[in-house]
């Protein structure tokens, strides 16, 4: 196979998103270079980049995309118009950026955390939300979000005094509300990693005491237990249905009564926890090579 030019897509600054995180991007980049790949970091919104110069564009860490979502959508449109080969596919990334994709999952019988949709320009009716979700505590967050941005944990009392601020946020963009799941604090949140549709490894994320956010940059901790077979099977089925053609996929969920309930299907820029599993870098590389071989065959 001829040498291909590969872009590893990132953002201007990873700093604000990677507190307490390892340097996964550098580790992956160095590994792929050592394997002989002609790869370079490219910032997704750098106007100077000629995307047609690359045979493959691998989306890795455009972690500020949700802060610049309109520009991000325009960039995806541009890649499509230029007929660039993007991993993961542009249509998948566009679909996955807005959590309204939950509706598609539910139509396929996937167990998803119950969701109340808060449309842009509407007002926050706290009483209606709590009643609809049948809970005493909710999580409110943007439909397009990441890194726990503008994510609020509210009980009925704090929700009542937060109406004005939430209404201000709703003027800017749509949000959603979900019941707070105590299992996040007591059991943790599972992340199942898949490369090229094949299972790679699992981590279990737990929040620090007094917090509900499991992200490592908020002090969450990472564990690597053997996942329950039923949960792994559910995650695999989900990937088979919605991400079988993806270079990478991360299924985030919580166990409720022995069942995996989806929190998020991450197909854009998930942290891959490559350092937590022996052989994960090699599996990523092999999956990338399989994708590149298909690309090369299609051009020959």
Q: Do residues 158 and 266 share a domain?
A: no
- Chain segment 63-88, per-residue pLDDT in tens: 999 999 999 999 999 999 999 999 99
Residue with tokens 């539910």: 106
What's the CATH code of the domain at 155? 3.30.1490
Q: Which DSSP letter does residue 163 get?
A: H
How far is 3 from 76, CA to CA, in rounded Å? 25
In sequence order, the β-bridge partners of residue 5 are 38
Count how many domains the chain has: 3
Examine the domain organization and report whether 269 and 295 are in the same domain: no
pLDDT at 218 > cutoff 60: no
Cβ–Cβ under 8 Å, residues 1 and 293: yes
- pLDDT bracket for residue 294 (50, 70, 90): confident
As a whole number, mean pLDDT of residues 98-122 equals: 96
- Same domain assignment for residues 231 and 104: yes
Integer Cα distance of 197 and 65 in angstroms: 24
Instruction: Measure the CA–CA gap between 108 and 248, rounded to whole angstroms.
Output: 21
CB 85 within 8 A of CB 288: no
Torsion, Cα 297 265 150 70, to 10 degrees, reads 30
Q: Does the CA dihedral 136-214-166-106 come out positive or negative?
A: negative
Whole-prediction pTM: 0.92
Residues 256 and 167 in one domain: no
Could you tell me the residue range of the domain that residue 204 belongs to?
99-111+183-275
**Which of these three, 179, 195, 222, is where a domain ends?**
179
What is the Cα–Cα distance from 217 to 19, expressed in whole angstroms? 4
Mean of the per-residue pLDDT values of the chain = 92
Residues 169-201 pLDDT 10s:
999 999 999 999 988 888 899 999 999 999 999
Length of the chain: 300
Alpha helices (runs of H) in 82-150, residue ranges in sequence order: 90-97, 102-107, 126-133
Q: By C-alpha distance, which of 190, 222, 220 is closest to 208?
A: 220
**DSSP reduced 3-state for 65:** helix
pLDDT band at 13 (very low <50, low <70, confident <90, very high): confident
Q: Around Cβ 112, how many Cβ atoms within 10 Å?
A: 20
Same domain, 162 and 240: no
**What beta strand segments (E) does the chain contain?**
5-10, 38-43, 56-61, 86-87, 116-118, 137-142, 152-155, 175-179, 189-195, 198-206, 221-223, 248-256, 259-266
Three-state SS for 35? Answer: coil
Where among 179, 200, 222 does a domain terminate? 179
Asked if 105 and 238 sit in the same domain, the reply is yes
Residue with tokens 């564990």: 223
Q: Which residues contact 2 (CB under 8 A, 6 or more apart)?
A: 296
pLDDT above 70 as % of the chain: 92
Geometric angle at alpha carbon 265, from 175 and 186, rounded to 5°: 85
Local structure of residue 265 (DSSP, 8 states): E
Query: Is 224 found in the same domain as 104?
Result: yes
């Amino acid at each position: 196979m001829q040498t291909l030019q590969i872009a590893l897509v990132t953002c201007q600054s990873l700093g604000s998103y990677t507190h307490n995180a390892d340097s996964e991007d550098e580790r992956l980049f160095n590994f792929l270079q050592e394997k002989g790949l002609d790869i370079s970091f490219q910032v997704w919104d750098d106007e100077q980049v000629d995307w047609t110069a690359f045979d493959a564009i691998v989306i890795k860490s455009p972690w500020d995309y949700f802060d610049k979502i309109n520009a991000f959508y325009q960039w995806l449109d541009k890649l499509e118009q230029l007929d660039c080969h993007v991993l993961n596919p542009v249509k998948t990334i566009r679909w996955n950026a807005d959590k309204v994709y939950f509706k598609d999952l539910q139509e396929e019988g996937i167990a998803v955390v119950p969701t109340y949709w808060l449309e842009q320009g509407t007002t926050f009716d706290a009483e209606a939300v709590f009643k609809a979700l049948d809970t005493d505590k909710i999580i409110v967050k943007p439909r397009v979000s990441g890194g726990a941005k503008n994510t609020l944990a509210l009980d009925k009392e704090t929700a009542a005094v937060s109406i004005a601020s939430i209404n201000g946020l709703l003027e800017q963009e749509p949000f959603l509300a979900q019941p707070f799941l105590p299992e996040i604090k007591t059991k943790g949140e599972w992340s199942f990693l898949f490369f090229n549709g094949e299972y790679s490894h699992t981590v279990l994320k737990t929040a620090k005491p007094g917090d509900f956010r499991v992200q490592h940059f908020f002090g969450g901790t990472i564990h690597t237990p053997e996942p329950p077979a039923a949960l792994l099977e559910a995650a695999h089925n989900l990937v088979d249905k919605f991400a079988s053609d993806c270079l990478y996929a991360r299924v985030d969920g919580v166990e409720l009564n022995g069942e995996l309930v989806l929190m998020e299907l991450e197909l854009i820029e998930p942290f891959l926890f490559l350092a937590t599993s022996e052989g994960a870098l090699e599996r990523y590389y092999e999956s990338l090579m399989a994708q590149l071989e298909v690309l090369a065959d299609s051009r020959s």
